[in-house]
Amino acid sequence: MTYPRINIDLFKIKYNTESMVQQCHQANVQVAGVTKLFGGNPKIAQIFVDGGVDMLADSRIENLAKMKDLPLSKMLLRIPMMSQVSDIIAYSDIGLVSEPVTVQALSNEAQRCNKVYKVILMLDLGDLREGIFHEGEIRQAVDEISRMKSISLEGIGTNLTCYGGVKPTRENLSCLKTWKESIEKQTGQPLRVISGGNGSTLSLLPAPGIPPHINQLRLGSSLTMGIGLNDEPIKGLYQDAFTLEAEVVEIREKPSKPVGEIGLDAFGNQPMFEDKGFRRRAICAIGRQDIKPEHLSPLDHGSKILGASSDHLLLDITDTLQDLKVGDPLTFYMTYGGCLSAMTSPYVQKYYV
């Protein structure tokens, strides 16, 4: 067994998934289990399936392709690329869209493959990532998409708290209800899905906090890491299904302030140091190309992260009660962003427990 590695506790992920799926189903909300944190790894995706999610969703078509043998429908979360249209039709069943020109290309490819591709039209309620903002443009997109031959307009959706940090509320989500009714009138067809956002919308659960017309949420970090709005822990869920272990390669006593004239560090920043005298320091073999040090926190409260360069993580271990030796692993919790980058680093082993 080598380091660095992420230990992934499948039992905890299954527990979180079952628990969230149960709460959502009680509120008549279906769950799209979002697999991007673990790159669509089929082993973890299978745990989502076992935990009861209604479909699998990822932002990357490459990840959905890895899950092609799992028995649920697959949703593409990122606005589709023109250059990937044939893979999108091959490996996904439904996509979040905002550009009719791309939907037309999807329709053509779907028709060529004798398929009907489902789409959810994304509306921007103010967070300013994906989705159509202007009313007139929403109507026009609906008009164009509903006339496309091999496309089924399944519903509308939104995404919040991603770029602008705009929180989901009953007020902003109630726009989706108004739009649903108005679009159904426009097309004469029912909209089956109202996709009310990501894990941050869980802050409105349980019902009646969540507006009753919302019948789908796209959930990733809540199932995997037990966190919701503002990355805050969700009560009753495990936050430690993913932990990182890195190996100590040096332990030495050194001054806390560098010796010599100070210029810029490896990343062009002017470093600042507090003089605390001589301290016992450890180096772990992991670095910024795997995970940023600010996204890590040591399990052992006595160790403090000092910083990192591309391949070295530096810690002050003077106050630890552990008897650390070279070759020992140190364990860390990760933020969502940190976990995402370490999970996609080919240098970090993934170990399932």
Ligand X SMILES: *Cc1c(COP(=O)(O)O)cnc(C)c1O
Locate the DSSP E strands across the chain. 5-8, 30-34, 55-58, 74-76, 94-97, 117-122, 151-157, 193-195, 216-219, 242-255, 278-284, 296-298, 304-308, 313-316, 329-334, 349-352
User: Whole-number minimum distance, CB 283 to ligand X, in Å?
Assistant: 33
Question: Is residue 151 within 8 Å of 117, Cβ to Cβ?
Answer: yes
Site for ligand X in 131-160 (CB under 6 A): 159
Question: Is residue 287 within 8 Å of 249, Cβ to Cβ?
Answer: no
Neighbouring CB atoms inside 10 A of 258's CB total: 11
Binding status of residue 309 toward ligand X by CB under 6 A: no
Site string for ligand X, 201-240 (x = CB under 6 A): -----------------xxxxx------------------
Residues sharing a CB contact under 8 Å with residue 124, sequence separation 6 or more, in sequence order: 130, 131, 132, 133, 158
Of residues 12, 36, 74, 180, which has the active-site annotation? 36
User: Whole-number minimum distance, CB 44 to ligand X, in Å?
Assistant: 14
Neighbouring CB atoms inside 10 A of 352's CB total: 13
Q: Which is nearer to ligand X, 17 or 303 (CB)?
A: 17
- Does 149 qualify as catalytic in the annotation? no
Pairing between β-strand 55-58 and β-strand 74-76 as defined by DSSP bridges = parallel
User: Whole-number minimum distance, CB 42 to ligand X, in Å?
Assistant: 19
Q: Which is nearer to ligand X, 159 or 320 (CB)?
A: 159
**How many positions of this chain bind ligand X (CB under 6 A)?**
13
Reference 173, options 157, 155, 193; nearest CA is 157
Q: Give the tokens for residue 324.
A: 């650390």
Identify the residue among 131, 196, 199, 293 touching ligand X (CB under 6 A). 199
Residue type, 127: D
- What dihedral do alpha carbons 227, 231, 235, 241 form, nearest 10°? 40
Identify the residue among 36, 74, 118, 295 touching ligand X (CB under 6 A). 36
User: Whole-number minimum distance, CB 167 to ligand X, in Å?
Assistant: 13
Q: What angle do CA 341, 344, 349 make, to 5 degrees?
A: 110
Site string for ligand X, 84-103 (x = CB under 6 A): ------------x-------
Site string for ligand X, 245-274 (x = CB under 6 A): ------------------------------
Identify the residue among 63, 92, 98, 198 touching ligand X (CB under 6 A). 198
Q: Which is nearer to ligand X, 102 or 198 (CB)?
A: 198
DSSP state of 199: G
Q: Which is nearer to ligand X, 19 or 198 (CB)?
A: 198
Identify the residue among 45, 53, 55, 77 touching ligand X (CB under 6 A). 77
Q: Which is nearer to ligand X, 58 or 245 (CB)?
A: 58
**In the complex, which residues of this chain contact ligand X (CB under 6 A)?**
34, 36, 59, 77, 96, 159, 198-199, 218-222
The residues assigned a catalytic role are: 36
